[in-house]
Structure 1
């Protein structure tokens, strides 16, 4: 078998599968591919950015200039503190939530109505009918066109049953006197325009609020901004006065009621005391005061009794020791006149005792002076004993007196306590009545104080806000912001271009380079055949010539039959072969080596029988004419021509026969002589065929698949094709050398 026919191409590996066995875990970002994609899609991004800039310029030119004036207001914390000092209803602390509340107050419809009335804007036709730019008209037209679609997509209103409808009708009949006028007046329109063009913001984390108004007239914008600041300041004063007035009215009503309730509660206390005989002395009941005094005296009497008892026990102990024969040296003080006598006797006794011991030690007990001193000592002891007995008796009498007084006080306190226990319920009720009376009196005093302060605050000329920077007439228009809009248009258009480019890059890519054919189809590729046009560049001519040379070398290397080689130029899809110079250029290249070359063009209907020297050194003929020369009706395979005779004739008369075959994707057989081709060259339109289609078409034609020698990309735009090649790669250098 022919070695070319034994060549088999494997297409079992699916497209985009890495040939080195790497899995998804080896994913890496290929920056070179990203750069190539960016280079390829740069025109799209640039065009979209340019379109965005053009639209931005159109919006700028179609917009009416607007002027913004800003009024700066300070929420004065010191004034708020002053108000808190003189007001019974303190102002709110200037927290973040309170400042945001002030912002919403400025944006409110009530303040807008005050500004309208202050400036008479409801009668200003220029204000009520502002100019409309082309941009606003376009947006209004778009909104008008999309409104039916929005209504169609909105959910239907819930159906109401008959009972609820009747109830609503009855309610409307009852409230006929409270009909609300829903007609839009010029005042309402003016207030709505004010709120639409008003901007209120807090300056960072400070207590400063900026009130801005944007309009078509700079002078009117400044007037409106100033009016907002003045109206807001006056609003604060009016609200404070109104709140104080309402509070004063309410407090006055409550004072009348509280005064009556306080008087009734005090009268109830006095009446209850009179009915139950409860006498009050220095703020306390008489019985309670008596109990307190008796208890105090009882405690003091108990202490006196205990002291008298202790003194008596001490004296009795001394007396018992004297009865036992112990000498008595001293007697406790009694606090009376006898204390000095007892002290003198004690000194005499001690002096006599000391002299007696000295005499006894020197002369003995029988000495006359010792005997005399002993008698004197005995007399002194007898006198001291008598004094001790008298003091003891006096202490006993004092103890009995103290004990009797304590018992008397205890009995009196018990009697008073028994009487008080019998009136516990009465006293409890009295305490309740007194508590009620005290509560009403305290509330009345507090409300009376609040009423007086609130009455004075109604005319207090201090507001907690202050205008620190009045609005000035703006020098220039604040919108349209030309630079910002132009930059936004460029960025938005560029972003849309990037999205379009990403979508184009992420979609399945057609075959555009030889490396893609080798990687996706596992098929060799000879190169590119650029688009041929009038005045083609020298680079395109050089690229075409190199590709044709490689195709010729493939034919010479893989052909080489002595009887002649039949080469099939197989297009993958149908395209206009008249625009391609590949068959003619390849035939011309093969004919340079004095080989006999025949080019069979399937689109040429003229019949040329074995011509001599053809154009450009090769011979051309048409497939129809070639088949007609060998037409027959007696072939066993049912074909209307003799294939073997045609092949024998071609091999005998030509070294190379180039036949333009039918497209693989358009026929079951890609040519009438498909069974006798020695090798095939696959012609792939540049940028028009995806790998899946090429792989399926090749697999569907096994005869062509077995004879495929190489492939070629036709119709490439040379400058565009370079963007799909890796910069500096062999493919790029080989193509663009």
Structure 2
């Protein structure tokens, strides 16, 4: 358990160390980024108006059946959750919000001029304006004004406008009036801006939200964000009022249409009843018929009841025809008019189906104004409508067949009674017929009159469908922008931005940057690391000179002592990937470092394609290694003592041959190296780059150690990726990597602990796994 805890603590420290190592050298960049981001956050907070959140909630009442249940049925036939969803969409409609904008004159916004950002003057402006025709407004960004309280005039430029009168301005016709919402006096100059009603409604809807807290309730929460809490409260309260007004108007329209339908039928029946009463009076006066026999009264009673039933059936058939006409007109895409009354139908199912169809059509038309054609809610309602219509038509056909059969039976029975009345005297029979018709019309008139009264009562007693649970109320403090959060985010961004730039730049760099990259790309061990020398002096190590780079060469010299044979005689080959990686620089200074240990060292310039050691030693020799390989000279003729150290000798390249590789493959190379072994302690060979010529692969088997120079930010990673693969065929003997030209990271100076310990040569444990 203790071991696990210690391991976790070490990993935490290692991770922290890796982060510090990677980014600490760039600390001025992080400081600058933090200052810039914090200033940007401060500027944003100063130039952004604070937003308050205003909340209100309403509850949809469960609609009960009205008094005239055959005319206006309940809405609770539809699923409750769907009703809430529909009302939410209606509340978010642009039509309602445009009404709010017009009612509150929100197309004109008043501000106080401040240095950074204008401040809302909804509660400080002494006046407000109303457009005579709000739908024809144009966008006006800024109109400065002042109010002359003494003369009750609004001064705009050189023009003065009175209050409470329509006045013509360059921006349209307006009416200025006192601001009922003024709570305090303005402290800065005032101005107002104008926008269109549509744009104002769109802006309010962008910050408006409606939600249902639970699927089990019919409560709807309304939220809006505004720079002025008082204006936000007025907007929500007005929205609720406009919503209730629209709902109440729709209910009144439905009740009024039903009442008009019954009234029309009532006028027709009343006229028919008057005609029958006049006929009865005239018949009694002309025929002297005052009373009828008991048998005639009995027949009259039976026939009257039968005729009343026939009339009832006929009335139901008439209603069914009206319903069928309404459904079919809707089915064909027509308007269909107002839903017909189902008064007189005995089957309550038909009334329910027609009401449900009308409700669905009503919801569909409402949502169609505010949502797209492919809205899921709209599609669901349309599917239910299409499924409902066939059911209604089928029910109509079934009831019609039943009613027509019933009517036939009743007429047959009535005909039987009429046959028996043939025995009654003609005068009495005619009087009975008149009385029968009078009774039927009287009953029908009484029935319609009762329904008319109920319908009128329903129209007068219509109430709002919603109850205000909480009136609009603003938060005491702004909800955005949140200062602490903005500063925190800006600080995080200030750290993330330079870190991302640094990491991205290093990730996109295809050159070798880190020591661990070398270890991941090749199996060859790194024997030394050489920092970048900015002095441009090819010889950085001298006797008595103790510099950081000189110590690096001494450390590499010590490491080389543990590689190779134990005889003390060593042949060291130095090569690289490309020209310019510093292999000749490494060869010269390594040879000088070994010579300082009182060992005789010879530096062989075997880069016969592009030799550079002679230039670094500032010497020129006409003869060299190529002359020996051609058989023109002996080793004693071409080996020269250097001026920098009595133990350091130099074997120049000589004239450049046309075929250097073939020349190095001759047996005279082995003889020369054997001779050098006999005379010198260490032989240091500078060869051509291994990726350009095969010279290094020819000479490496003849040497004890091969130093492969990799230069920081110069050697492409792609060459190191192929190094092990190339080395598997033509092996470089005892290959070791020298990481040369290491630069300091970030803004640190070159030196141990920054350019070295915290530099690119740091071997982090968080790199890729070493290549196998």
TM-score, length-scaled by structure 2: 0.49
Q: Does structure 2 conserve the Cα–Cα contact (< 8 Å) formed by 1:72 and 1:209?
A: yes
For residue 104 of structure 1, what is the aligned residue in structure 2?
A: 92
Where do residues 648-667 of structure 1 align in structure 2 (5 Å cutoff)? 650-651=676-677, 653-667=679-693
For residues 500-527 of structure 1, the C-alpha deviation after alignment (integer angstroms, 9 at most, x for no partner) is 7887798798767778767753434424
SS of 1:468's partner is strand
- State the distance in 2 between where 1:648 and 1:610 align: 14
2:530 pairs with 1:529: yes
Please identify which structure carries the higher strand content. Answer: 2
Instruction: Decide which of 198, 205, 223 is 2:213's aligned counterpart.
Output: 205
Q: Does structure 2 conserve the Cα–Cα contact (< 8 Å) formed by 1:525 and 1:712?
A: yes
For residue 711 of structure 1, what is the aligned residue in structure 2?
A: 737
Instruction: Decide which of 227, 230, 242 is 2:234's aligned counterpart.
Output: 227
- State the distance in 1 between where 2:525 and 2:702 align: 22
Instruction: Decide which of 552, 567, 573 is 2:572's aligned counterpart.
Output: 567
Deviation at 1:569, TM superposition (A): 1.0
For residue 65 of structure 1, what is the aligned residue in structure 2?
A: 48
For residue 559 of structure 2, what is the aligned residue in structure 1?
A: 550
2:581 pairs with 1:592: no
Query: Larger Cα Rg: Structure 1 or Structure 2?
Result: 1
SS of 1:663's partner is coil
Instruction: Decide which of 455, 465, 468 is 2:468's aligned counterpart.
Output: 465
Where do residues 348-497 of structure 1 align in structure 2 (5 Å cutoff)? 423-424=412-413, 426=415, 445-455=450-460, 457=462, 464-465=467-468, 468=471, 470=473, 478-491=479-492
For residue 214 of structure 1, what is the aligned residue in structure 2?
A: 226
Query: Would the alpha carbon gap of residues 248 and 612 (structure 1) be closer, same or farther in structure 2, given more than 3 Å must change?
Result: closer
SS of 1:545's partner is helix
Deviation at 1:214, TM superposition (A): 2.2
For residue 429 of structure 2, what is the aligned residue in structure 1?
A: none
Query: Would the alpha carbon gap of residues 111 and 508 (structure 1) be closer, same or farther in structure 2, given more than 3 Å must change?
Result: same
Q: Does structure 2 conserve the Cα–Cα contact (< 8 Å) formed by 1:674 and 1:703?
A: no
For residue 5 of structure 2, what is the aligned residue in structure 1?
A: none
For residues 101-121 of structure 1, the C-alpha deviation after alignment (integer angstroms, 9 at most, x for no partner) is 46415884323333443x6x5
Where do residues 247-326 of structure 1 align in structure 2 (5 Å cutoff)? 247=254, 249-260=256-267, 262=269, 285=302
Deviation at 1:587, TM superposition (A): 3.9
- State the distance in 2 between where 1:85 and 1:48 align: 76
For residue 75 of structure 1, what is the aligned residue in structure 2?
A: 58
Query: Would the alpha carbon gap of residues 636 and 504 (structure 1) be closer, same or farther in structure 2, given more than 3 Å must change?
Result: closer
Q: Does structure 1 conserve the Cα–Cα contact (< 8 Å) formed by 2:573 and 2:703?
A: yes
For residues 40-64 of structure 1, the C-alpha deviation after alignment (integer angstroms, 9 at most, x for no partner) is 6556999689848844641540452
Query: Would the alpha carbon gap of residues 107 and 586 (structure 1) be closer, same or farther in structure 2, given more than 3 Å must change?
Result: farther
Query: Would the alpha carbon gap of residues 591 and 72 (structure 1) be closer, same or farther in structure 2, given more than 3 Å must change?
Result: closer
- State the distance in 2 between where 1:574 and 1:262 align: 116
For residue 695 of structure 2, what is the aligned residue in structure 1?
A: 669
Query: Would the alpha carbon gap of residues 452 and 61 (structure 1) be closer, same or farther in structure 2, given more than 3 Å must change?
Result: same
For residues 313-366 of structure 1, the C-alpha deviation after alignment (integer angstroms, 9 at most, x for no partner) is xxxxxxxxxxxxxxxxxxxxxxxxxxxxxxxxxxxxxxxxxxxxxxxxxxxxxx
For residues 192-217 of structure 1, the C-alpha deviation after alignment (integer angstroms, 9 at most, x for no partner) is 246425633457728464554423xx
- State the distance in 1 between where 2:63 and 2:50 align: 37
- State the distance in 1 between where 2:708 and 2:301 align: 126
- State the distance in 2 between where 1:675 and 1:486 align: 64
Query: Would the alpha carbon gap of residues 612 and 450 (structure 1) be closer, same or farther in structure 2, given more than 3 Å must change?
Result: same
Query: Would the alpha carbon gap of residues 32 and 196 (structure 1) be closer, same or farther in structure 2, given more than 3 Å must change?
Result: same
Q: Does structure 2 conserve the Cα–Cα contact (< 8 Å) formed by 1:635 and 1:642?
A: no
SS of 1:480's partner is coil
Q: Does structure 2 conserve the Cα–Cα contact (< 8 Å) formed by 1:32 and 1:726?
A: no
Deviation at 1:449, TM superposition (A): 0.6
2:763 pairs with 1:724: yes
2:239 pairs with 1:239: no
For residues 524-549 of structure 1, the C-alpha deviation after alignment (integer angstroms, 9 at most, x for no partner) is 44243344568999887665533221
Query: Would the alpha carbon gap of residues 496 and 447 (structure 1) be closer, same or farther in structure 2, given more than 3 Å must change?
Result: farther
SS of 2:710's partner is strand
- State the distance in 2 between where 1:491 and 1:572 align: 42
- Farther off after superposition, 104-113 or 712-721: 104-113
- State the distance in 1 between where 2:703 and 2:104 align: 94
Instruction: Decide which of 619, 634, 657 is 1:606's aligned counterpart.
Output: 619
- Farther off after superposition, 655-664 or 533-542: 533-542
For residue 342 of structure 1, what is the aligned residue in structure 2?
A: none
Deviation at 1:662, TM superposition (A): 1.9
For residues 119-155 of structure 1, the C-alpha deviation after alignment (integer angstroms, 9 at most, x for no partner) is 6x53x5649x999869xxxxxxxxxxxxxxxxxxxxx
- State the distance in 1 between where 2:99 and 2:20 align: 58
For residue 626 of structure 2, what is the aligned residue in structure 1?
A: none
Q: Does structure 1 conserve the Cα–Cα contact (< 8 Å) formed by 2:98 and 2:197?
A: no
2:708 pairs with 1:682: yes
- Farther off after superposition, 203-212 or 532-541: 532-541
Query: Would the alpha carbon gap of residues 692 and 500 (structure 1) be closer, same or farther in structure 2, given more than 3 Å must change?
Result: same
Deviation at 1:693, TM superposition (A): 1.3
Which structure has more relative contact order (CA 8 Å, sep 6+)? It is: 1
Ranges in structure 2 where 5+ consecutive residues have no aligned partner: 1-10, 119-134, 140-170, 172-192, 284-292, 307-408, 419-432, 606-612, 622-637, 743-754
For residue 648 of structure 2, what is the aligned residue in structure 1?
A: 619
Deviation at 1:556, TM superposition (A): 5.2
Query: Would the alpha carbon gap of residues 57 and 596 (structure 1) be closer, same or farther in structure 2, given more than 3 Å must change?
Result: closer
Deviation at 1:585, TM superposition (A): 3.4
SS of 2:560's partner is helix
SS of 1:228's partner is helix
For residues 574-604 of structure 1, the C-alpha deviation after alignment (integer angstroms, 9 at most, x for no partner) is 2353995564234422552533444642643
SS of 2:620's partner is coil
Query: Would the alpha carbon gap of residues 436 and 42 (structure 1) be closer, same or farther in structure 2, given more than 3 Å must change?
Result: farther
Query: Would the alpha carbon gap of residues 35 and 579 (structure 1) be closer, same or farther in structure 2, given more than 3 Å must change?
Result: farther
Where do residues 337-348 of structure 1 align in structure 2 (5 Å cutoff)? none
- State the distance in 2 between where 1:598 and 1:572 align: 20
Deviation at 1:444, TM superposition (A): 5.7
- State the distance in 1 between where 2:300 and 2:493 align: 88
- State the distance in 1 between where 2:660 and 2:258 align: 126
For residues 247-292 of structure 1, the C-alpha deviation after alignment (integer angstroms, 9 at most, x for no partner) is 4542442122221455589899999xx9xx9967599628999xxx
Query: Would the alpha carbon gap of residues 706 and 245 (structure 1) be closer, same or farther in structure 2, given more than 3 Å must change?
Result: closer
Query: Would the alpha carbon gap of residues 236 and 607 (structure 1) be closer, same or farther in structure 2, given more than 3 Å must change?
Result: closer
Please identify which structure carries the higher helix content. Answer: 1
